[in-house]
Structure 1
Amino acid sequence: MSYEQFAYLYDELMQDAPYEEWVKFVKAKLQKYQVDGKNLLDLACGTGELSVRFAKEGFSVTGVDLSADMLAVAQAKAQEEGLSIPFFEQDMANLEGHGEFDIIGIFCDSLNYLKSDDDVIHTFSSAYEHLKDEGLFLFDVHSVYKISQGFINQTFALADDDVSYIWNSFAGEETNSVEHELSFFVFDEQTGKYDRFDEVHFQRTYPVGQYSDWLENAGFEILEINADFEDSEPKHQSERIFFIARKKPSF
Protein backbone atom coordinates (compact mmCIF):
# COMPACT_ATOMS: atom_id res chain seq x y z
CA MET A 1 0.00 0.00 0.00
CA SER A 2 1.04 3.64 -0.42
CA TYR A 3 0.93 5.92 2.58
CA GLU A 4 0.59 9.02 0.36
CA GLN A 5 0.25 12.14 2.55
CA PHE A 6 0.54 10.06 5.71
CA ALA A 7 4.24 9.50 4.96
CA TYR A 8 4.99 13.16 5.57
CA LEU A 9 3.06 13.27 8.83
CA TYR A 10 4.14 9.91 10.20
CA ASP A 11 7.20 11.00 12.20
CA GLU A 12 5.36 13.84 13.89
CA LEU A 13 2.51 11.58 14.88
CA MET A 14 4.84 8.76 16.00
CA GLN A 15 7.33 10.86 17.96
CA ASP A 16 6.39 9.08 21.20
CA ALA A 17 6.89 5.59 19.74
CA PRO A 18 9.39 3.51 21.77
CA TYR A 19 12.00 3.25 19.02
CA GLU A 20 14.85 2.86 21.50
CA GLU A 21 13.10 -0.19 22.93
CA TRP A 22 13.25 -1.88 19.53
CA VAL A 23 16.96 -1.09 19.26
CA LYS A 24 17.64 -2.47 22.74
CA PHE A 25 15.54 -5.53 21.96
CA VAL A 26 17.54 -6.37 18.83
CA LYS A 27 20.92 -5.78 20.47
CA ALA A 28 19.98 -7.95 23.44
CA LYS A 29 18.89 -10.85 21.23
CA LEU A 30 22.03 -10.64 19.08
CA GLN A 31 24.15 -10.86 22.21
CA LYS A 32 22.06 -13.65 23.70
CA TYR A 33 22.27 -15.81 20.57
CA GLN A 34 25.87 -14.87 19.77
CA VAL A 35 25.28 -13.32 16.37
CA ASP A 36 28.51 -11.52 15.52
CA GLY A 37 27.56 -9.92 12.20
CA LYS A 38 25.73 -6.59 12.06
CA ASN A 39 24.43 -6.67 8.50
CA LEU A 40 20.74 -5.85 8.98
CA LEU A 41 17.80 -5.79 6.57
CA ASP A 42 15.02 -3.50 7.81
CA LEU A 43 11.84 -4.65 6.05
CA ALA A 44 8.89 -2.24 5.83
CA CYS A 45 11.30 0.41 7.07
CA GLY A 46 8.84 3.26 6.55
CA THR A 47 10.39 6.67 7.11
CA GLY A 48 13.66 5.05 8.16
CA GLU A 49 13.53 6.03 11.81
CA LEU A 50 14.78 2.64 12.98
CA SER A 51 17.11 2.22 9.99
CA VAL A 52 18.89 5.43 10.99
CA ARG A 53 19.03 4.46 14.65
CA PHE A 54 20.51 1.06 13.83
CA ALA A 55 23.05 2.63 11.48
CA LYS A 56 24.13 5.02 14.24
CA GLU A 57 24.66 1.95 16.47
CA GLY A 58 27.14 0.53 13.97
CA PHE A 59 24.87 -1.74 11.95
CA SER A 60 25.22 -1.98 8.18
CA VAL A 61 21.60 -1.33 7.26
CA THR A 62 19.55 -1.87 4.12
CA GLY A 63 15.97 -0.60 4.11
CA VAL A 64 13.05 -1.91 2.06
CA ASP A 65 9.55 -0.46 1.85
CA LEU A 66 6.64 -0.53 -0.59
CA SER A 67 5.92 3.20 -0.30
CA ALA A 68 7.99 5.57 -2.44
CA ASP A 69 6.81 8.47 -0.26
CA MET A 70 8.02 6.78 2.91
CA LEU A 71 11.36 6.02 1.29
CA ALA A 72 11.78 9.62 0.18
CA VAL A 73 11.44 10.70 3.81
CA ALA A 74 13.83 7.93 4.91
CA GLN A 75 16.49 8.88 2.37
CA ALA A 76 16.34 12.56 3.35
CA LYS A 77 16.61 11.61 7.01
CA ALA A 78 19.67 9.41 6.42
CA GLN A 79 21.38 12.11 4.37
CA GLU A 80 20.71 14.69 7.07
CA GLU A 81 22.48 12.38 9.55
CA GLY A 82 25.39 11.85 7.17
CA LEU A 83 24.58 8.15 6.79
CA SER A 84 24.79 6.05 3.66
CA ILE A 85 21.82 3.66 3.82
CA PRO A 86 20.57 1.99 0.65
CA PHE A 87 16.77 2.07 0.45
CA PHE A 88 14.75 0.02 -2.04
CA GLU A 89 11.12 0.21 -3.10
CA GLN A 90 10.04 -3.40 -2.98
CA ASP A 91 7.38 -5.74 -1.62
CA MET A 92 8.73 -7.63 1.39
CA ALA A 93 6.79 -10.70 0.24
CA ASN A 94 8.81 -10.75 -3.00
CA LEU A 95 12.36 -9.69 -2.19
CA GLU A 96 14.98 -9.86 -4.92
CA GLY A 97 18.66 -9.09 -5.29
CA HIS A 98 19.69 -8.14 -1.78
CA GLY A 99 22.13 -10.91 -0.87
CA GLU A 100 22.22 -12.41 2.62
CA PHE A 101 22.03 -10.71 6.01
CA ASP A 102 22.90 -11.55 9.61
CA ILE A 103 19.63 -10.05 10.87
CA ILE A 104 16.28 -9.33 9.28
CA GLY A 105 13.69 -7.30 11.15
CA ILE A 106 10.08 -6.29 10.54
CA PHE A 107 9.31 -3.81 13.27
CA CYS A 108 6.46 -1.56 14.44
CA ASP A 109 3.76 -4.16 13.59
CA SER A 110 4.45 -3.62 9.87
CA LEU A 111 3.75 -7.28 9.14
CA ASN A 112 0.12 -6.60 10.04
CA TYR A 113 -0.31 -4.56 6.86
CA LEU A 114 -0.10 -7.71 4.75
CA LYS A 115 -3.57 -8.64 3.58
CA SER A 116 -3.49 -12.38 3.05
CA ASP A 117 -2.11 -15.64 4.44
CA ASP A 118 -0.03 -16.05 1.29
CA ASP A 119 1.56 -12.62 1.75
CA VAL A 120 2.76 -13.56 5.24
CA ILE A 121 3.95 -16.99 4.08
CA HIS A 122 5.86 -15.48 1.16
CA THR A 123 7.40 -12.86 3.44
CA PHE A 124 8.71 -15.56 5.77
CA SER A 125 10.12 -17.45 2.79
CA SER A 126 11.74 -14.28 1.44
CA ALA A 127 13.30 -13.61 4.84
CA TYR A 128 14.62 -17.16 5.00
CA GLU A 129 16.20 -16.86 1.55
CA HIS A 130 17.92 -13.58 2.49
CA LEU A 131 19.33 -14.73 5.82
CA LYS A 132 22.70 -16.33 6.41
CA ASP A 133 22.63 -19.72 8.11
CA GLU A 134 22.00 -19.20 11.85
CA GLY A 135 20.87 -15.64 11.11
CA LEU A 136 18.09 -14.10 13.20
CA PHE A 137 14.63 -13.09 12.01
CA LEU A 138 12.82 -10.76 14.42
CA PHE A 139 9.40 -9.19 14.11
CA ASP A 140 6.51 -7.91 16.20
CA VAL A 141 2.78 -7.98 15.50
CA HIS A 142 -0.42 -6.83 17.11
CA SER A 143 -2.06 -9.53 19.15
CA VAL A 144 -5.57 -10.75 18.40
CA TYR A 145 -6.59 -9.05 21.65
CA LYS A 146 -5.15 -5.71 20.50
CA ILE A 147 -7.00 -5.85 17.18
CA SER A 148 -10.33 -6.94 18.66
CA GLN A 149 -10.34 -4.98 21.92
CA GLY A 150 -7.89 -2.14 21.36
CA PHE A 151 -8.87 -1.02 17.86
CA ILE A 152 -12.22 -2.24 16.57
CA ASN A 153 -15.03 0.26 17.16
CA GLN A 154 -12.63 2.70 18.80
CA THR A 155 -12.07 6.38 17.97
CA PHE A 156 -8.82 8.24 18.56
CA ALA A 157 -8.27 11.95 18.13
CA LEU A 158 -5.57 14.59 18.40
CA ALA A 159 -6.14 18.34 18.40
CA ASP A 160 -2.88 20.21 17.88
CA ASP A 161 -2.01 23.54 16.33
CA ASP A 162 -0.09 22.12 13.35
CA VAL A 163 -1.62 18.68 12.85
CA SER A 164 -4.89 17.22 14.09
CA TYR A 165 -6.59 13.95 13.26
CA ILE A 166 -9.69 11.84 13.77
CA TRP A 167 -9.04 8.11 13.62
CA ASN A 168 -11.94 5.65 13.52
CA SER A 169 -11.38 1.89 13.51
CA PHE A 170 -13.85 -0.72 12.27
CA ALA A 171 -13.85 -4.48 11.91
CA GLY A 172 -12.46 -5.61 8.57
CA GLU A 173 -13.95 -8.31 6.39
CA GLU A 174 -11.22 -10.81 7.25
CA THR A 175 -10.96 -12.54 10.61
CA ASN A 176 -8.88 -10.54 13.13
CA SER A 177 -8.59 -7.55 10.82
CA VAL A 178 -9.31 -3.86 11.23
CA GLU A 179 -9.76 -0.88 8.93
CA HIS A 180 -8.52 2.48 10.13
CA GLU A 181 -10.22 5.52 8.63
CA LEU A 182 -8.02 8.56 9.19
CA SER A 183 -8.74 12.22 8.54
CA PHE A 184 -5.81 14.62 8.98
CA PHE A 185 -6.01 18.39 9.26
CA VAL A 186 -2.66 20.03 8.52
CA PHE A 187 -2.09 23.75 8.97
CA ASP A 188 -0.78 25.56 5.89
CA GLU A 189 1.20 28.64 6.93
CA GLN A 190 0.89 30.22 3.49
CA THR A 191 -2.90 30.15 3.38
CA GLY A 192 -3.55 30.24 7.11
CA LYS A 193 -5.99 27.36 6.64
CA TYR A 194 -6.04 23.66 7.35
CA ASP A 195 -5.75 21.11 4.53
CA ARG A 196 -7.64 17.86 4.98
CA PHE A 197 -6.29 14.46 3.95
CA ASP A 198 -8.25 11.20 4.21
CA GLU A 199 -6.79 7.70 4.14
CA VAL A 200 -7.85 4.14 4.94
CA HIS A 201 -5.35 1.68 6.39
CA PHE A 202 -5.86 -2.06 6.77
CA GLN A 203 -4.27 -4.34 9.38
CA ARG A 204 -4.68 -8.03 10.01
CA THR A 205 -3.18 -10.39 12.55
CA TYR A 206 -3.24 -14.09 13.40
CA PRO A 207 -3.02 -16.25 16.53
CA VAL A 208 0.48 -16.94 17.84
CA GLY A 209 0.21 -20.58 16.85
CA GLN A 210 -0.46 -19.69 13.22
CA TYR A 211 2.61 -17.47 12.98
CA SER A 212 4.63 -20.24 14.61
CA ASP A 213 3.47 -22.86 12.11
CA TRP A 214 4.31 -20.62 9.17
CA LEU A 215 7.77 -19.86 10.57
CA GLU A 216 8.58 -23.52 11.07
CA ASN A 217 7.26 -24.43 7.63
CA ALA A 218 9.56 -21.77 6.15
CA GLY A 219 12.58 -23.42 7.80
CA PHE A 220 12.98 -21.36 10.96
CA GLU A 221 13.69 -22.50 14.50
CA ILE A 222 11.61 -20.45 16.93
CA LEU A 223 13.83 -19.27 19.77
CA GLU A 224 11.45 -17.05 21.73
CA ILE A 225 7.95 -15.63 21.66
CA ASN A 226 7.58 -12.66 23.98
CA ALA A 227 5.17 -9.80 24.58
CA ASP A 228 5.25 -6.05 25.10
CA PHE A 229 9.06 -5.63 25.20
CA GLU A 230 9.31 -8.03 28.12
CA ASP A 231 11.09 -11.38 28.26
CA SER A 232 7.91 -13.14 29.26
CA GLU A 233 5.41 -15.28 27.40
CA PRO A 234 2.33 -13.62 25.89
CA LYS A 235 -0.77 -13.44 28.06
CA HIS A 236 -4.39 -13.05 27.02
CA GLN A 237 -4.24 -9.25 27.24
CA SER A 238 -0.77 -8.83 25.76
CA GLU A 239 -0.88 -6.27 22.96
CA ARG A 240 2.35 -6.67 20.99
CA ILE A 241 3.84 -10.10 20.28
CA PHE A 242 7.54 -10.52 19.50
CA PHE A 243 8.99 -13.45 17.58
CA ILE A 244 12.68 -14.33 17.55
CA ALA A 245 13.55 -17.07 15.05
CA ARG A 246 16.77 -18.50 13.64
CA LYS A 247 17.38 -19.79 10.15
CA LYS A 248 18.11 -23.48 10.18
CA PRO A 249 20.75 -24.37 7.58
CA SER A 250 19.42 -26.03 4.46
CA PHE A 251 21.46 -29.07 3.47
Structure 2
Amino acid sequence: MENIFINNFSEYDQPDLYDVENDGWNEDTLFIEQWAKKQEGMVIDLACGTGRTAIPLAKQGISVIGVDLHEGMLNKAREKSEQQNLSIKWVNQDITELQLDVKSSLIYMVGNSFQHFLTNESQNLLFSSVSNHLLDNGLFIFNTRFPSKDELMQPETEEYWRSYTDHLNRHVEVSTIAKYNSILQIQDYITIRRFKEASGQIAETRSSISLRYTYPQEMDRLLDKHGFEVVNVYQDFNEAPLTTEAYGMVYVCRKVGQK
Protein backbone atom coordinates (compact mmCIF):
# COMPACT_ATOMS: atom_id res chain seq x y z
CA MET A 1 0.00 0.00 0.00
CA GLU A 2 1.26 3.49 -0.87
CA ASN A 3 2.23 5.43 2.24
CA ILE A 4 -0.42 8.15 2.48
CA PHE A 5 1.00 9.75 5.61
CA ILE A 6 4.26 11.19 4.24
CA ASN A 7 2.64 14.37 2.89
CA ASN A 8 1.35 15.09 6.41
CA PHE A 9 4.78 14.87 8.01
CA SER A 10 5.70 18.56 7.76
CA GLU A 11 3.46 19.43 10.70
CA TYR A 12 5.42 16.99 12.88
CA ASP A 13 8.99 17.63 11.77
CA GLN A 14 9.80 19.75 14.83
CA PRO A 15 9.07 17.57 17.89
CA ASP A 16 10.17 20.29 20.35
CA LEU A 17 7.72 22.73 18.78
CA TYR A 18 5.00 20.06 18.81
CA ASP A 19 5.47 19.65 22.56
CA VAL A 20 5.27 23.39 23.20
CA GLU A 21 2.02 23.62 21.24
CA ASN A 22 0.39 20.51 22.70
CA ASP A 23 1.78 19.54 26.11
CA GLY A 24 -0.64 21.77 28.00
CA TRP A 25 -3.55 19.61 26.85
CA ASN A 26 -4.25 16.63 29.14
CA GLU A 27 -8.01 15.99 29.18
CA ASP A 28 -7.59 13.03 26.83
CA THR A 29 -4.76 11.64 29.01
CA LEU A 30 -6.94 11.75 32.14
CA PHE A 31 -9.80 10.09 30.24
CA ILE A 32 -7.58 7.28 28.94
CA GLU A 33 -6.04 6.81 32.40
CA GLN A 34 -9.47 6.10 33.91
CA TRP A 35 -10.05 3.29 31.42
CA ALA A 36 -6.48 1.98 31.52
CA LYS A 37 -6.59 1.47 35.28
CA LYS A 38 -9.54 -0.91 34.79
CA GLN A 39 -7.57 -3.12 32.39
CA GLU A 40 -4.86 -5.72 32.86
CA GLY A 41 -1.69 -6.11 30.83
CA MET A 42 -0.15 -3.88 28.18
CA VAL A 43 -1.90 -0.79 26.79
CA ILE A 44 -1.14 0.23 23.19
CA ASP A 45 -0.93 3.92 22.23
CA LEU A 46 -1.30 4.38 18.45
CA ALA A 47 0.09 7.51 16.76
CA CYS A 48 1.82 8.18 20.08
CA GLY A 49 3.92 11.11 18.85
CA THR A 50 6.35 12.38 21.47
CA GLY A 51 4.67 10.38 24.23
CA ARG A 52 2.27 13.09 25.37
CA THR A 53 -0.17 10.53 26.79
CA ALA A 54 1.99 7.39 27.05
CA ILE A 55 4.52 8.96 29.42
CA PRO A 56 1.94 10.14 32.02
CA LEU A 57 0.31 6.68 31.90
CA ALA A 58 3.68 5.02 32.53
CA LYS A 59 4.19 7.32 35.51
CA GLN A 60 0.98 5.85 36.93
CA GLY A 61 2.45 2.35 36.69
CA ILE A 62 0.57 1.40 33.51
CA SER A 63 2.51 -0.70 30.98
CA VAL A 64 2.48 1.05 27.59
CA ILE A 65 3.66 0.43 24.04
CA GLY A 66 3.82 3.56 21.89
CA VAL A 67 3.58 3.20 18.10
CA ASP A 68 4.19 5.92 15.51
CA LEU A 69 5.30 6.21 11.90
CA HIS A 70 7.32 9.40 12.41
CA GLU A 71 10.81 8.46 13.56
CA GLY A 72 11.66 11.98 14.76
CA MET A 73 8.65 12.10 17.06
CA LEU A 74 9.50 8.65 18.43
CA ASN A 75 13.10 9.67 19.07
CA LYS A 76 11.82 12.60 21.13
CA ALA A 77 9.46 10.28 23.03
CA ARG A 78 12.33 7.89 23.72
CA GLU A 79 14.54 10.74 24.95
CA LYS A 80 11.84 12.03 27.30
CA SER A 81 11.04 8.62 28.77
CA GLU A 82 14.74 7.81 29.32
CA GLN A 83 15.23 11.13 31.12
CA GLN A 84 12.42 10.13 33.48
CA ASN A 85 13.64 6.53 33.83
CA LEU A 86 10.41 5.13 32.43
CA SER A 87 10.25 1.75 30.71
CA ILE A 88 8.14 2.27 27.58
CA LYS A 89 8.50 0.29 24.38
CA TRP A 90 8.53 2.63 21.37
CA VAL A 91 7.80 1.06 17.98
CA ASN A 92 8.27 2.67 14.55
CA GLN A 93 5.49 1.17 12.41
CA ASP A 94 2.70 2.08 10.02
CA ILE A 95 -0.33 1.32 12.18
CA THR A 96 -2.38 0.21 9.18
CA GLU A 97 0.09 -2.72 8.99
CA LEU A 98 0.58 -3.21 12.72
CA GLN A 99 2.73 -6.20 13.71
CA LEU A 100 3.27 -6.39 17.45
CA ASP A 101 3.95 -9.53 19.45
CA VAL A 102 1.24 -8.72 21.96
CA LYS A 103 -2.54 -8.46 22.25
CA SER A 104 -4.11 -5.88 24.51
CA SER A 105 -7.36 -5.25 26.34
CA LEU A 106 -7.04 -1.51 25.56
CA ILE A 107 -5.79 0.27 22.45
CA TYR A 108 -6.21 4.00 22.10
CA MET A 109 -5.47 6.74 19.56
CA VAL A 110 -6.01 10.38 20.51
CA GLY A 111 -4.99 13.80 19.16
CA ASN A 112 -7.57 13.43 16.35
CA SER A 113 -5.09 11.09 14.65
CA PHE A 114 -8.00 9.20 13.06
CA GLN A 115 -8.23 12.06 10.56
CA HIS A 116 -4.89 11.07 9.03
CA PHE A 117 -6.57 8.03 7.46
CA LEU A 118 -7.70 9.76 4.31
CA THR A 119 -9.15 6.87 2.28
CA ASN A 120 -11.73 4.15 2.87
CA GLU A 121 -8.95 1.60 2.41
CA SER A 122 -6.74 3.13 5.09
CA GLN A 123 -9.64 3.38 7.56
CA ASN A 124 -10.44 -0.29 6.94
CA LEU A 125 -6.80 -1.29 7.43
CA LEU A 126 -6.61 0.70 10.67
CA PHE A 127 -9.62 -1.05 12.19
CA SER A 128 -8.35 -4.43 11.02
CA SER A 129 -4.96 -3.76 12.64
CA VAL A 130 -6.63 -2.69 15.88
CA SER A 131 -8.93 -5.72 15.91
CA ASN A 132 -6.00 -8.08 15.29
CA HIS A 133 -4.22 -6.72 18.37
CA LEU A 134 -7.22 -6.58 20.70
CA LEU A 135 -8.27 -9.35 23.02
CA ASP A 136 -11.90 -10.46 22.82
CA ASN A 137 -14.07 -7.76 24.42
CA GLY A 138 -11.06 -5.42 24.37
CA LEU A 139 -11.59 -1.66 24.03
CA PHE A 140 -10.54 0.77 21.33
CA ILE A 141 -10.79 4.46 22.28
CA PHE A 142 -10.19 7.22 19.73
CA ASN A 143 -11.29 10.73 18.87
CA THR A 144 -11.82 12.77 15.75
CA ARG A 145 -13.15 16.22 14.90
CA PHE A 146 -16.89 16.58 14.35
CA PRO A 147 -17.79 17.55 10.76
CA SER A 148 -19.81 20.62 11.71
CA LYS A 149 -20.74 23.36 9.25
CA ASP A 150 -18.52 25.82 11.10
CA GLU A 151 -15.58 23.43 10.85
CA LEU A 152 -15.93 22.56 7.18
CA MET A 153 -17.20 25.76 5.64
CA GLN A 154 -14.39 28.03 6.73
CA PRO A 155 -13.49 30.79 4.24
CA GLU A 156 -10.48 29.94 2.09
CA THR A 157 -8.58 32.92 3.43
CA GLU A 158 -6.01 33.29 6.17
CA GLU A 159 -7.59 33.21 9.63
CA TYR A 160 -5.88 33.97 12.96
CA TRP A 161 -5.83 30.93 15.26
CA ARG A 162 -3.65 31.43 18.36
CA SER A 163 -0.40 32.78 19.80
CA TYR A 164 2.17 31.37 22.24
CA THR A 165 5.82 31.51 23.33
CA ASP A 166 7.84 28.74 21.67
CA HIS A 167 10.78 26.61 22.87
CA LEU A 168 13.20 29.34 21.73
CA ASN A 169 11.32 31.97 23.77
CA ARG A 170 9.88 33.63 20.67
CA HIS A 171 6.36 35.05 20.51
CA VAL A 172 4.62 33.12 17.73
CA GLU A 173 1.42 34.15 15.94
CA VAL A 174 -0.36 31.25 14.25
CA SER A 175 -2.91 31.45 11.46
CA THR A 176 -4.39 28.90 9.06
CA ILE A 177 -5.80 28.62 5.56
CA ALA A 178 -8.33 25.82 5.04
CA LYS A 179 -9.89 24.35 1.91
CA TYR A 180 -12.49 21.56 2.09
CA ASN A 181 -13.13 18.97 -0.63
CA SER A 182 -16.67 17.77 0.02
CA ILE A 183 -16.34 14.77 -2.32
CA LEU A 184 -13.25 13.35 -0.62
CA GLN A 185 -14.33 14.72 2.80
CA ILE A 186 -10.78 16.04 3.19
CA GLN A 187 -9.77 19.46 4.46
CA ASP A 188 -6.36 20.76 3.43
CA TYR A 189 -4.76 23.10 5.95
CA ILE A 190 -1.80 25.42 5.66
CA THR A 191 -0.51 26.52 9.06
CA ILE A 192 1.44 29.79 9.10
CA ARG A 193 3.68 30.66 12.05
CA ARG A 194 5.17 34.15 12.29
CA PHE A 195 7.75 35.27 14.84
CA LYS A 196 10.32 38.00 15.36
CA GLU A 197 13.95 37.03 14.84
CA ALA A 198 16.86 38.41 16.91
CA SER A 199 17.47 40.94 14.11
CA GLY A 200 13.96 42.27 14.59
CA GLN A 201 12.74 40.97 11.24
CA ILE A 202 9.50 39.00 11.07
CA ALA A 203 10.06 35.42 9.88
CA GLU A 204 7.46 33.00 8.64
CA THR A 205 7.19 29.22 8.35
CA ARG A 206 4.46 27.20 6.66
CA SER A 207 3.40 23.59 7.07
CA SER A 208 0.59 21.63 5.47
CA ILE A 209 -1.68 18.85 6.59
CA SER A 210 -4.71 17.03 5.14
CA LEU A 211 -7.47 15.75 7.43
CA ARG A 212 -10.47 13.58 6.66
CA TYR A 213 -13.83 14.16 8.33
CA THR A 214 -16.09 11.20 9.07
CA TYR A 215 -19.78 11.58 9.90
CA PRO A 216 -21.38 9.83 12.91
CA GLN A 217 -23.64 7.52 10.87
CA GLU A 218 -20.71 6.68 8.61
CA MET A 219 -18.58 5.87 11.66
CA ASP A 220 -21.26 3.61 13.15
CA ARG A 221 -21.41 1.56 9.94
CA LEU A 222 -17.62 1.39 9.73
CA LEU A 223 -17.26 0.17 13.32
CA ASP A 224 -20.02 -2.40 12.88
CA LYS A 225 -18.37 -3.71 9.72
CA HIS A 226 -15.17 -4.40 11.64
CA GLY A 227 -16.81 -6.08 14.60
CA PHE A 228 -16.92 -3.22 17.10
CA GLU A 229 -19.84 -2.09 19.20
CA VAL A 230 -20.01 1.49 20.44
CA VAL A 231 -19.98 1.54 24.23
CA ASN A 232 -20.18 5.34 24.35
CA VAL A 233 -19.69 8.32 22.07
CA TYR A 234 -19.09 11.77 23.53
CA GLN A 235 -18.42 15.22 22.13
CA ASP A 236 -15.43 15.73 24.42
CA PHE A 237 -13.28 14.00 27.03
CA ASN A 238 -15.48 15.37 29.80
CA GLU A 239 -18.12 12.89 28.59
CA ALA A 240 -20.62 15.46 27.36
CA PRO A 241 -23.26 13.85 25.09
CA LEU A 242 -22.73 14.26 21.35
CA THR A 243 -24.79 17.10 19.88
CA THR A 244 -24.91 18.98 16.58
CA GLU A 245 -22.93 21.76 18.30
CA ALA A 246 -19.97 19.44 18.93
CA TYR A 247 -16.41 20.13 17.88
CA GLY A 248 -15.25 16.55 18.39
CA MET A 249 -16.30 12.93 18.79
CA VAL A 250 -14.81 10.55 21.35
CA TYR A 251 -15.55 6.86 20.73
CA VAL A 252 -15.26 4.06 23.27
CA CYS A 253 -15.69 0.80 21.32
CA ARG A 254 -15.61 -2.88 22.25
CA LYS A 255 -14.41 -5.67 19.99
CA VAL A 256 -17.19 -8.24 19.63
CA GLY A 257 -15.68 -10.38 16.87
CA GLN A 258 -15.45 -10.17 13.11
CA LYS A 259 -18.63 -10.58 11.05
TM range (shorter): 0.7 to 0.9
Which is worse superposed, 46-55 or 88-97? Answer: 88-97
Query: Match for 1:37: what amino acid?
Result: E
Q: Secondary structure at the match of 1:172?
A: strand
User: What SS class does the counterpart of residue 10 from structure 1 fall into?
Assistant: helix
Q: Matched residue of 1:134: which SS?
A: strand
Partners of 1:193 and 1:73 lie apart in 2 by 30
Secondary structure, aligned partner of 1:209: helix
Q: Give the C-alpha shift of residue 193 in structure 1.
A: 7.3
47 and 175 in structure 1: CA distance in 2 versus 1, 3 angstrom threshold: same
1:168 equivalent in structure 2: 176
> Is 2:75 the partner of 1:57?
no
Cα distance in 2 between the residues matched to 1:193 and 1:5: 24
Tell me which residue corresponds to 2:161. 156
- Counterpart position of 2:253: 245
Q: In structure 1, what residue type is equivalent to 2:174?
A: I
Shift in CA distance, 103/51, structure 1 to aligned 2, threshold 3 Å: same
Distance 1:226 1:120, change over 3 A: same
- Structure 2 unpaired stretches of 5+: 1-5
Q: Which residue in 2 is equivalent to 1:223?
A: 231
Counterpart in 2 of 1:120? Answer: 123
Question: 1:34-45 residue pairs with structure 2 within 5 A?
Answer: 35-45=38-48
Correspondence 1:1-251 to 2 at 5 A: 1=6, 2-3=9-10, 4-17=12-25, 19=26, 21-29=27-35, 35-145=38-148, 147-148=151-152, 154-158=159-163, 160=165, 161-173=169-181, 174-185=183-194, 196-249=204-257
CA distance in 1, matches of 2:121, 2:13: 28
1:156 is matched by which residue type in structure 2? W
Are the structure 2 counterparts of residues 84 and 110 from structure 1 closer, same or farther at C-alpha, using a change threshold of 3 Å? Answer: same
User: What is the CA-CA distance between 1:39 and the residue it aligns to?
Assistant: 1.5
Q: Report the Cα offset of residue 122 of structure 1.
A: 1.0
What per-residue deviation string (whole Å, max 9, x for no partner) do you get for residues 193-223 of structure 1? 7765321011111101111111111111211
TM-superposition CA deviations, 1:77-135 (whole Å, max 9, x none)? 11111112111121121111342112100101111122112111211111010011111
Unaligned stretches of 5+ residues in structure 1: none
Q: Are residues 250 and 237 of structure 1, via their aligned partners in 2, closer, same or farther at CA, if it must alter by over 3 Å?
A: closer
Distance in structure 2 (CA, Å) of the matches to 1:131 and 1:205: 25
Distance, in Å, in 2 between the alignment partners of 1:227 and 1:98 is 33
RMSD: 2.7
In the alignment, the residues of structure 2 paired with residue 43 and residue 142 of structure 1 have an alpha-carbon distance, to the nearest angstrom, of: 17
CA deviations on 1:156-197 (whole Å, 9 max, x unpaired) are 2426452524331312335442222123356777x8877653
Q: Give the TM-score normalised by structure 1.
A: 0.86
Cα distance between partner residues in 2 of 1:47 and 1:188: 27
